[in-house]
Amino acid sequence: MIVKDIMNTSVKFAKTDTSIKDIASIMCFNKISGVPVVDDNNKLIGILSEKDILRNMFPDVNQIMLEGGNPDFESMETDYKHIMDKKVGDFMTQAVASVTPDMPLLKAASLMCVKQIRRIPVTDENDALIGIISIGDVHKAIFQENLINE
């Protein structure tokens, strides 16, 4: 099996100027934990995950030291609304791995395991976003193939 056999081509994505509020809504309502970020030419330039958003609510080391090493995590939850007007470009991860549609499925899965990521964008030869696969998609495809062949 290869990546194009299972990739999802109706990908939710963001641009760097998309608000965190808009993309967080898309993530929550579509039950997805991250989205690729593309430029105006659909070229993959990053990825934004729920972890990237939530990480921006955590205090930095200096703030923890000022508070005597005892941050008030419960009060930090109210800071969530303050990051909603920020832009995807402020929080996205720029160094992003991708796979090609003709890559063997298990090679793509091994890349996700090595990088410790649960989803990976699929790009063409020009780095344009054409799809996405998740580790769950890979597992389901392999399971179904082996179940049917029993």
101-123 average pLDDT score: 94
> CB within 8 A of 20, min separation 6: which ones?
53, 83, 84, 85, 86, 87, 88, 90, 91
pLDDT, mean of residues 48-59: 81
Q: pTM of this prediction?
A: 0.82
Please report, for the domain that includes residue 69, its CATH number.
3.10.580.10
Q: Pick the closest to residue 23 from 51, 49, 56 (CA basis).
A: 49
Mean pLDDT, range 6-15, rounded to an integer: 95
How many domains are there within the chain?
1
Domain that holds residue 100: 3-148
